[in-house]
Amino acid sequence: MKIAFIGLGNMGAPMAANLAAAGHDVTGFDMAAPAPDGVTMAENAAGAASGADIVVTMLPNGDILRAVAAEVVPAMQAGAVLLDCSTVDVDSARAVADMAADHGCGALDAPVSGGIGGAAAGTLTFMVGGAQDALAKAMPLFDVMGGRTVHCGPSGNGQAAKICNNMILGATMAVTCEAFALADKLGLDRQAMYDVASTSSGQSWSLTTYCPAPGVGPTSPADNGYKPGFAAELMQKDLGLALQAAEAVDSPTPLGTEALRQYTDFVEDDGRGKDFSALLERFVGRGRT
């Protein structure tokens, strides 16, 4: 297929390169990033989208998504699909879907899980909102870029799934870091702590797949100086989106709210540019007050 890919940063670049390597004709656009392997660059977003079967976007936030969609949707051919892989607010996802529908185009909101490593390896999980016909058209791309695709329902539901999932992730990582810091101060060896919790009721993905303690469990960013696989400021962003959505529908989120506070304090202190699991260092270095 003829693909446009708009937003070629740390996530978008390897995703676009994988599509090109799979034989798709990929035209890209980014305000600053260089061309990934196999991708021809356009002068602007509308130029990339013109004549494309599918326009893929990977953008920082909902405001930018709305602005890019306002530029590219009028340039898209009827029947083309706008496939947004950004993590944005639910309202923006639904507004962009309505914009596409008004121009005779399909739209999918398909945020991802798996980080930079998953983007490079083509093993991302996609959480997709939108119509079945648009999903069917985009499936060959999902098969190249990811390992699993879950259709979550109508437009906006992909974003809803992403922010709910990441609220769980943020809260469980925070309490996992708290527990390791407490274990240290109680004189409990980290490996012993891991061996118990990883095989009993304290088990979680944050512990057994992405352990925040260096040298414990499978290799994770903690073993690489907390170089980000998923940056703390991105967790802060996703928790903020979750709480924004919760406020809109009057849903209580006391633990999500506290997780956002912890990550906001961490990012504003010294956590920017570190993996979100580096929250452990903050707890180890502090007392109760």
CATH number of the domain encompassing residue 199: 1.10.1040.10
What is the distance between the alpha carbons of residues 190 and 193, in angstroms, rounded to a whole number? 5
Residue 145 and residue 173 in one domain: no
- In the chain, the amino acid numbered 223 is D
| Residue 119 structural domain | 2-154
- Domains identified in the chain, total number: 2
Residue 215 and residue 75 in one domain: no
Q: Which of 162, 185, 227, 237 is catalytic?
A: 162
Residue 218 and residue 252 in one domain: yes
Can you give the pLDDT of all 289 residues of the chain as single tens digits?
999 999 999 999 999 999 999 999 999 999 999 999 999 999 999 999 999 999 999 999 999 999 999 999 999 999 999 999 999 999 999 999 999 999 999 999 999 998 888 999 999 999 999 999 999 999 999 999 999 999 999 999 999 999 999 999 999 999 999 999 999 999 999 999 999 999 999 999 999 999 999 999 999 999 999 999 899 999 999 999 999 999 999 999 999 999 999 999 999 999 999 999 999 999 998 888 7
Q: Which residues pair with 33 in a beta bridge?
A: none
Is 28 within 8 Å of 8 (Cβ atoms)? yes
Out of 154, 171, 194, a domain closes at 154
- Report the pLDDT value the prediction gives residue 200, as an integer from 0 to 100: 97
Out of 134, 154, 174, a domain closes at 154
- Report the pLDDT value the prediction gives residue 117, as an integer from 0 to 100: 87
Whole-prediction pTM: 0.91
Is 1 within 8 Å of 25 (Cβ atoms)? yes
Residue 278 and residue 220 in one domain: yes
Residue 258 and residue 165 in one domain: yes
- Report the pLDDT value the prediction gives residue 191, as an integer from 0 to 100: 98
Closest CA to 90 of 118, 66, 54: 66
Residue 171 and residue 39 in one domain: no
Out of 154, 184, 211, a domain closes at 154
Active site residue 185: no
Residue 7 and residue 148 in one domain: yes
Residue 223 and residue 244 in one domain: yes
Residue 149 and residue 25 in one domain: yes
- Report the pLDDT value the prediction gives residue 289, as an integer from 0 to 100: 73
How is residue 275 annotated by DSSP? B
Is 186 within 8 Å of 179 (Cβ atoms)? no
Residue 167 and residue 92 in one domain: no
What is the distance between the alpha carbons of residues 278 and 265, in angstroms, rounded to a whole number? 13
Residue 71 and residue 206 in one domain: no
Residue 80 and residue 218 in one domain: no
Domain of residue 49, CATH code: 3.40.50.720
What is the pairing mode between strands 124-130 and 112-113?
A: antiparallel
- Report the pLDDT value the prediction gives residue 286, as an integer from 0 to 100: 87
What is the distance between the alpha carbons of residues 95 and 204, in angstroms, rounded to a whole number? 35
- Report the pLDDT value the prediction gives residue 66, as an integer from 0 to 100: 98
